[in-house]
Amino acid sequence: MKAEELRITIYSYEDTTELPGIGAELIRLAKEATEKAWAPYSQFRVGAALELENGEIITGNNQENIAFPSGLCAERVALFYAGSQYPGVAIKRIALAAYADGRFVAKPVYPCGDCRQVLLEHENRVKQPVEVIMYGENEIKLVKSVSDLLPLPFDYNLTP
C-alpha cells in the first residue's frame, strides 16, 4: 500500500482591502449581482464577478427553475457568458458572494463541484491559473488556482 498526500493552499483575509488586484471591486460587484439573482426556490442568492485578461468585467447570478436541474449557478452564468462574448480570453480572477436570510453569509461559500470542473477546464484551456475569491462577512478566502479547489478533476485521454 502506498499513500499520496496532496497539498493545496487557501489564503484567508479579514478585509477586502487586503486582496490582490481588483479583488475588492470584484467582491463589491459580486455582492451587487446577488440582487438580480432568480432564486425563488432556494432563497439563496449567489453573485459572481469575474475579471478578464482584456480588462472586461462580467457578472452573473444564480438562475433557478421550477424543474430544479434546469437552473444554473452564478459562476457558470458569468463564465459561459464570458466564453460566449470573449472566446479564448483568460479569466484572471472570479469573486463570489451569497445572500440569504436578509444578509450576506458569514462564512464564505465555495463553488459547487460542477462549477469547479467548468472553471478548471477554462484554466487548462487558457494555460494560466484563475484566482477564486470567496466572500463571507466574517472572513474572505482565496485560492490562486482552481486546481486548489479541485485537485483531482475528471479527465480522460483516449490515446493509449
Q: Are strands 45-52 and 140-143 parallel, antiparallel or unpaired?
A: unpaired
User: With contact defined as beta carbons under 8 Å apart, do 37 and 48 qualify?
Assistant: no
Under rule CB under 6 A, residue 64 binds ligand THU: yes
Which of these ranges, 70-78, 83-91, 128-136, 152-160, lies near ligand THU under the rule CB under 6 A?
A: 70-78
Answer yes or no: 75 catalytic. yes
Under rule CB under 6 A, residue 74 binds ligand THU: yes
State the DSSP H helix or E strand holding residue 46, giving kind and residue range, or none if neither.
Answer: strand 45-52
Which of these ranges, 20-28, 72-80, 134-142, 144-152, lies near ligand THU under the rule CB under 6 A?
A: 72-80
Under rule CB under 6 A, residue 8 binds ligand THU: no
CB of residue 28 vs ligand THU: minimum separation in angstroms? 18
Under rule CB under 6 A, residue 73 binds ligand THU: yes
CA distance 104 to 4: 38
Residue list 93-112, contact with ligand THU (CB under 6 A):
111-112
Alpha-carbon distances, residue 114 vs 25, 60, 81, 110 (angstroms): 26, 16, 16, 11
User: With contact defined as beta carbons under 8 Å apart, do 35 and 45 qualify?
Assistant: yes
Please classify residue 16 by burial: count the beta carbons closer than 10 Å to its beta carbon, then call 0-12 exposed, 13-18 middle and 19+ buried.
Answer: middle
State the DSSP H helix or E strand holding residue 28, giving kind and residue range, or none if neither.
Answer: helix 23-33
From 39, 50, 132, 150, residue interacting with ligand THU (rule: CB under 6 A): 39
Under rule CB under 6 A, residue 42 binds ligand THU: yes
Which of these ranges, 5-13, 68-76, 126-134, 145-153, lies near ligand THU under the rule CB under 6 A?
A: 68-76
Q: Which of 51, 75, 123, 131 is catalytic?
A: 75
Q: Are strands 57-61 and 45-52 parallel, antiparallel or unpaired?
A: antiparallel
Which residues lie near ligand THU (CB under 6 A)? 39, 42, 44, 46, 62, 64, 71, 73-75, 111-112, 115
| Catalytic residue ranges | 75
